[in-house]
Chains A and B, each alone.
Chain A
Amino acid sequence: AQSVAQPEDQVNVAEGNPLTVKCTYSVSGNPYLFWYVQYPNRGLQFLLKYITGDNLVKGSYGFEAEFNKSQTSFHLKKPSALVSDSALYFCAVRERSSGNTPLVFGKGTRLSVIA
Chain B
Amino acid sequence: EAGVTQFPSHSVIEKGQTVTLRCDPISGHDNLYWYRRVMGKEIKFLLHFVKESKQDESGMPNNRFLAERTGGTYSTLKVQPAELEDSGVYFCASRLGQGRAANTGELFFGEGSRLTVL
Contact = CB atoms under 8 A, between A and B. Distances in A.
B48 interface: yes
A41 interface: yes
Interface string B26-59: 0000010101010011111100101000011001
A28 interface: no
B40 A9 contact: yes
Interface size class of B (residues with CB under 8 A): 20 to 34
Given A100-B55, A105-B43, A107-B41, A46 B35 contact: no
Q: Which of B40, B43, B111 has the most CB of A within 10 A?
A: B43
Top 10 A-B residue pairs of the complex, sorted by shortest distance between their CB atoms: A43-B109, A105-B43, A46-B106, A44-B109, A43-B111, A102-B45, A107-B42, A51-B104, A43-B110, A100-B102
Contacts of A94: 103
9 contacts: A32-B103, A41-B111, A44-B93, A46-B106, A100-B50, A101-B56, A102-B33, A102-B56, A104-B45
A103 B45 contact: yes
Given A90-B43, A105-B35, A107-B40, A100 B103 contact: yes
A43 B50 CA distance: 21
Q: Which of A98, A99, A102 has the most CB of B within 10 A?
A: A102
B65 to A, nearest CB: 16
Interface SS majority for chain A: loop
Nearest to B45: A102
Contact of A34 (B50, B91, B106): B106
Contacts of B35: 105
Nearest to B6: A43
Nearest to B92: A43
A22 interface: no
B25 interface: no
Given A32-B103, A101-B56, A43 B40 contact: no
B11 interface: no
Given A34-B106, A49-B104, A49-B106, A43 B55 contact: no
A25 B38 CA distance: 21
A102 B104 contact: no
A42 B6 CA distance: 11
